[in-house]
Amino acid sequence: MKKWMFLPLMLAAFLACTGCGPQSAGVSVTGLRCEYLTNPLGIDAAKPRLSWVLESSDRGQTQKAYRILAASSAEKLAADTGDLWDSGKVDSDRSNQVGYDGAEPSAGTPVFWKVKVWDRNGKESAWSEAAFWSRGIAAADWQAEWIGPDTDSKPTVMPPAPFFRKSFTVDQPVRRAVLYLSARGLVEPSLNGERIGKDVFAPEWTDYTRRIQYRTYDVTPLIRQGGNALGIVLGDGWFSGYIGWRKERGHYGLRNSLIARLELESEDGSKTAVVSDGTWKFAEGPILFSDFMMGETYDARREMPGWNTPEFDDTAWKTASVVEPPAAPLVSQPAEPVQVHEEIAAKEITEPKPGVYVFNLGQNIAGWARIKVSGPAGTKVVLRFAERLNPDGTVYVTNLRAAKCIDTYILKGDSEEVWEPRFTFHGFQYVEMTGLPAKPGLDAVTGRVVYSSSPVTGSFECSNPMVNQLYSNICWGQRGNFLSVPTDCPQRDERLGWMGDAQIFIRTATYNRDVAAFFTKWMQDVEDAQSPEGAYADTSPRLKDLPQFEAVAGWGDAGIVVPWTVWRVYGDTRIIERHWASMERWMDMLLTDNPDLIRKNRLNNNYGDWLSTVPDAGWAEASARKIFLATAYWAYDAKLMSQMAKALGRAEDFAKYDALFQKIRDAYQKEFLKPDGHIEGESQTVYVLSLYFDLLPEDMRAKVAEYLIEDIKKNGNHLTTGFIGVRHLCPVLTQMGYPEVAYTLLNNDTYPSWGYSIKHGATTIWERWDGWTTEKGFQDPGMNSFNHYSLGSVGEWLFASVAGIDLDPEVPAFKKSVIRPMIGGGFTHAKGEFQSIYGKIASGWKLDGDALTMDVTIPVNTTATVYVPAAEGASVTESGKPAAKASGLKFVKQENGFAVYEAGSGNYSFASTVKK
Ligand code: BGC
């Protein structure tokens, strides 16, 4: 028989497999992760949580059971020997947040693991590929000293960065070499002249008085037989550099120091270690200073070629000082590291003044510039960074406030010199270069984009190019501000973990990227920053000596909103357990301060609906509107607490917080709500929060929604919301039956709107609606960032309503999702894709006249309620057949212009007719 004669048979077999009958193709297991990370090294958890993703071409496919094997070597695992753990066949559909329950691995040794599952037909899958994690190091096992340079820095003087080295000999074959490294300051490690890993700004920001992170690196490939040398450059960063607008350096201390342990495991399993101690040498090299806010000055003439190789002669180097160890414990960094992720070539170069060259990257970023220059030794190239240009084409830097953001490179005189700074970053689109003897080429500047390595999970695209640019700006806002902690902005003297911004944006952030590990780490910062009385700080980590910077409504409440969101999106109950006591302290404090259930006390900085266009009562003034906002948030906290209590199975706490919610709601209605549905201090935000937080009597909701619509109309079909109101505006309009009004706001390009900034060249989300206007030019430079993500919290609505991918209100982690696109706004198509913890969810629709097509993907082991836009009585098909009869689908009802189905996993192609 010829090959082609098999084809019909093969086709028949293929078709049999794509249905959900007994002939199903079964599932395969991929995407193994441990504590949300892929193959993490050095994690602290003894019993980490595991997850995997299932794939199948079947519809309605699920996991009935799983089996996990964990082994102490790759070989054992390959031979199916789970010497650390064999879970056995566990009858469960759990594929997320599965706790490892095997033998506790000893520090540093990897655990290799794999998973197989049984699908809904009882069919057994193949084993997944192997994955691994390794356990971090216990405090007692470091056996190393903290060392630093011998200089005593002064608050006002930014010191040169010391270069440390240690040479050592390896005389036996090494099976595994692992470096544990931490610092009070920032480190860039290298071994035998090669950089170790790609992390920048390690070990990243925590409150150094509470905990200090360490990183773990597998350096086995870099170890040589014979002479070796470890080199570490030590910078200032958050520990000793300038932070925020604080006038003095040294927020946590002035003497940088590091601790290192390089563990070498021989073939026979015996271990030796090279550790930081008083035998290490150091010298000051080319980095004359380097600071996040001020920039870096680098004198290439002072380079020390080969300084981190074994051959280097360090006899002239000084001996490191052993310094006091910190009181705070060392903890493994639980989140993905900050790294360089993208490079952007300059798009154009201008010369607004003779010898002043301005490079335009075409995109506002956080990071730095790598330069390629040439000139005589001693030539000083000065770089300044800006988000916008002045009318005369020069860089606009006044909005940087006290952050100088100047990088200086002093040439050594080579034919071509390529340089980038190590311990600073800037927020910019434009780079000004001065000091070169001749005009540089366009390739003299390359933008290096730096952020925490949370994996991309979302994409969004629609038929309105302006909205696509808005989505891009939202994503760039996240890139530029998720840098170790969620910051407000990356350019001026601030860059702080502002809580209000984070809680408003978190839900959008979870669509764009997998931020589970990022927020797991940050919630620890949030708890560390909490006052003994229970007040969450305005920024986490907390700035010291600022007593009024805590407990602010909408800011402090992040302490409740963030764990709740992580639970809802990722199904993580551990974050709730871990911070439960802290959240209770916050709730207790609010009640003690406000026994009459109106939150008017301890409002401190009281930012209100920050940067709303409604004239506000001014910073720190307690207007009715602000007391309303505070009380509304308190009620919301209570509601979220009740839901979290339920998730933990705490019945009493559920009852307690549910009752508290009702009581605050009653008090709120008495205090603010007028009989006709008008609300004290009214504004769009007041209406929106009342509706979203469920603070109104049922029969008043429609009325209040009408007032909201009136208010929008009164403002010429524009929004007036600030940071706090903006997040819930479009969701509330949609929920209350006014999606077209939400689309109007989205499509607007007149002030104030998202489109206005885009019309004027925004490539990120602006801090304020009027950061720049045609009438007034730049806003007050005291407060005018062009890269603040808060007003970009509309991204949540783009996914949840325009594309139509949302959480089921009752089921966390997208184990069940709601697919409900709201067509409108003149859009002819929209599409969203989101990699949930169970796998990819997609929803895309196209409109041709009144003919609608809609493609949906539901991940294996999950279900969805799918709302297909369809006029009453219209026929709805799926892959050309009546949808009600399609495999994997069950028709539920026709409701408000949607045909509603319960769907199992799989890909679906719907077609219907909508009412025009
Ligand atoms: C920050 C904000 C922050 C605010 C408090 C500002 O300086 O940049 O994003 O939330 O202060 O209102």
Q: pLDDT tens digits for 112-151?
A: 999 999 999 999 999 999 999 999 999 999 999 999 998 7
The C-alpha atoms of residue 879 and residue 874 are separated, in whole angstroms, by 16
Task: Please count the other Cβ atoms lying within 10 Å of the Cβ belonging to residue 612.
Answer: 23
pLDDT confidence bin for 47, thresholds 50/70/90: very high
Mutation probe of ligand 1 site: the residue of 494, 621, 626, 785 with most atoms within 8 A of C-beta: 494
Residue whose Cα lies nearest atom 3 of ligand 1: it is 498
Q: Report phi then psi at 849, rounded to 5.
A: 65, -120
Q: What is the pLDDT of residue 154?
A: 87
The Cα–Cα gap between 874 and 484 comes to: 51
How many beta carbons lie within 10 A of that of residue 272, not counting itself?
A: 13
Active site residue 577: no
Q: Which of 904, 822, 807, 826 is nearest to 869 (CA)?
A: 822
Q: How far, in Å, from the CA of 589 to the mean position of ligand 1?
A: 24
Q: Out of 296, 767, 796, 833, which one is annotated catalytic?
A: 767
Q: How far is CA 478 from CA 125, 244, 484, 490, in A?
A: 38, 19, 12, 11
Would you call 90 helix, strand, or coil by DSSP? Answer: strand
Residue in 494, 527, 550, 878 annotated catalytic: 494
Task: Give the residue whose CA is nearest to atom 8 of ligand 1.
Answer: 488
pLDDT of res. 621 = 74
- List of residues 6+ apart from 136 with CB closer than 8 A: 42, 43, 44, 107, 108, 180, 214, 216, 332
**Residue 765, token pair as written in the block:** 């989300």
Tokens found for residue 502: 């984070």
Closest to 444 (Cα-Cα) out of 466, 469, 419: 419
Pocket test for ligand 1, best of 491, 606, 607, 787 (most atoms within 8 A of CB): 607
Minimal-distance CA residue to ligand 1 atom 11:
498
Amino acid identity for residue 774 in this structure:
T
Asked if 389 and 359 touch (Cβ cutoff 8 Å), the reply is no
Give me ligand 1 centre to Cα 534, in Å: 21
Q: Tell me which amino acid residue 749 is.
A: D
Could you identify the atom of ligand 1 that is nearest to the CA of residue 611?
12
**Ligand 1 centre and the CA of 853: distance in Å?**
43
Residue 273 makes CB contacts below 8 A (sequence gap 6+) with: 143, 144, 261, 262, 263, 264
Q: Where are the alpha helices (DSSP H) in 485-556?
A: 499-512, 516-528
Instruction: State pLDDT tens for residues 230-280.
Output: 999 999 999 999 999 999 999 999 999 999 999 999 999 899 999 999 999
Active-site annotation holds for 494:
yes
Ligand 1 residue neighbourhood (C-beta within 6 Å): 488-489, 494, 498, 500-501, 607, 610, 788
User: Which run of H or E residues covers position 296?
Assistant: strand 295-299
- Closest protein CA for atom 5 of ligand 1: 607
pLDDT over threshold 50, residue 282 = yes
Q: Please state the atom number of ligand 1 nearest to the C-alpha of residue 610.
A: 12
Asked whether the predicted pLDDT for residue 107 surpasses 90, the reply is no
Residue 15 confidence (pLDDT) above 80: no
pLDDT at 525: 98
User: CA-to-CA distance for 574 and 678, rounded, in angstroms?
Assistant: 41
For 97-219, strand residue ranges (E) read: 98-99, 110-119, 131-134, 146-148, 162-170, 174-184, 186-191, 194-195, 212-218
| Shortest-distance Cα residue to atom 9 of ligand 1 | 488
Q: Which residue is associated with the tokens 């008090």?
A: 667
Query: Which pLDDT score is estimated for 265?
Result: 95
How far is CA 674 from each of CA 691, 713, 899, rounded to the nearest angstrom? 15, 22, 39
**Token pair of 259 as six digits:** 């601790």
pLDDT value of position 616: 67
* CA 439 vs CA 373, 436, 585, 765: distances in Å: 10, 7, 61, 33
pTM for the model: 0.96
- Confidence (pLDDT) at 24: 63
| 779-812 per-position pLDDT tens digit | 989 899 999 999 999 999 999 999 999 999 999 9
Which atom number of ligand 1 is nearest to the Cα of residue 767?
Answer: 9
pLDDT at 19: 38
Instruction: Say how far apart CA 899 and CA 883 lie, in whole Å.
Output: 10
Q: Which DSSP state fits 508?
A: H
**Mean pLDDT, rounded, for 729-735:** 98
Q: State which H helix or E strand residue 638 sits in.
A: helix 624-647
* Mean of per-residue pLDDT scores for the chain: 95
pLDDT one-digit tens code per residue, 609-631: 999 998 765 666 778 889 999 99
CA of 533 to the centre of ligand 1 (A): 23
Place of tokens 């300059």: 346
Residues 388-408, mean pLDDT to the nearest whole number: 97
Residue 570 pLDDT > 70: yes
DSSP string, 42-82: SB--SS-EEEEEEE-SSSS--EEEEEEEEESSHHHHHTT--
Count of alpha carbons within 13 angstroms of residue 813, beta-carbon side: 19
> Distance from the CA of 725 to the center of ligand 1, in angstroms?
15
- Which among 243, 487, 488, 548 is the best mutation to test ligand 1's pocket, defined by most ligand atoms within 8 Å of the CB? 488
pLDDT score for 16 = 34
Residue 773 and residue 433 in contact, taking contact as beta carbons nearer than 8 Å: no
**Amino acid sitting at position 136:** G
Report the nearest atom of ligand 1 relative to the CA of 498: 10
Contact 282, 258 (CB under 8 A): no
DSSP class per residue in 795-847: HHHIIIIII-EEE-SSSGGGSEEEE-----TT-SEEEEEEEETTEEEEEEEEE
Task: State the sign of the Cα–Cα–Cα–Cα dihedral 636, 637, 638, 642.
Answer: positive
Tokens of 720: 């007036």
Q: How far is the CA of 786 from the centre of ligand 1 (A)?
A: 13
Nearest residue (by CA) to ligand 1, atom 1, is: 488
CA distance 794 to 508: 7
Residue nearest to atom 6 of ligand 1 (CA): 488
Which is the closest atom of ligand 1 to the Cα of 619?
Answer: 12
Distance of CA 758 from the midpoint of ligand 1 (Å):
22
What's the whole-number mean pLDDT along residues 199-203? 98
Task: With CA atoms as reference, report the closest residue to 56 among 9, 117, 105.
Answer: 117
Ligand 1 geometric centre to CA of 609 (Å)? 11
Q: Whose CA is nearest to atom 4 of ligand 1?
A: 498
Question: From CA 708, how far away is CA 719, in angstroms rounded?
Answer: 10
Residue closest to 416 by CA, chosen among 456, 387, 443? 443
Using alpha carbons, list the distances in angstroms from residue 76 to 79, 156, 196, 409, 588: 5, 57, 29, 53, 52
> What is the reported pLDDT for 150?
83
**pLDDT(8) > 50:** no
DSSP run (H or E) holding 734 = helix 723-735
Q: Which atom of ligand 1 is nearest to the CA of 499?
A: 10
Q: What would the two tokens of residue 369 be?
A: 């510039």
Spacing, Cα 789 to ligand 1 middle (Å): 11
Q: H/E element holding 911?
A: strand 906-913
Cα dihedral: 367, 373, 376, 381 (round 10): -30
Mutate to test the pocket of ligand 1, among 501, 557, 612 (most ligand atoms within 8 A of CB): 501
Burial class (CB in 10 A: 0-12, 13-18, 19+), 269: exposed
CA distance linking residue 277 with residue 320, whole number of Å: 8
Lowest model confidence (mean pLDDT) among 140-154, 367-381, 647-661 = 140-154
Residue nearest ligand 1's atom 2 by CA = 488
| CA 590 to ligand 1 center in whole angstroms | 22
Would you put residue 275 in left (φ > 0), alpha (ψ -120 to 50) or beta?
A: beta
Phi, psi of 881 (to 5 degrees): -115, 160
Question: Which ligand 1 atom is nearest residue 723's CA?
Answer: 10
Per DSSP, helices labelled H in 353-498 are 465-481
User: Closest ligand 1 atom, CA of 492?
Assistant: 8
Mean pLDDT value across residues 876-880: 97
Name which of 90-104, 143-157, 164-178, 551-565 the model is least confident about: 143-157
Mean pLDDT along residues 721-740: 97
User: What's the CA gap between 779 and 235, in Å, rounded?
Assistant: 35
Nearest CA to ligand 1 atom 12: 607
DSSP for 583-625?
Answer: HHHHHHHHHHH-TTS---SS-TT---STT-SSPPS-TT---HH
Q: How far is the CA of 616 from the centre of ligand 1 (A)?
A: 15
CA angle 532, 534, 539 (to 5 degrees): 95
Mean pLDDT of 379-393: 98
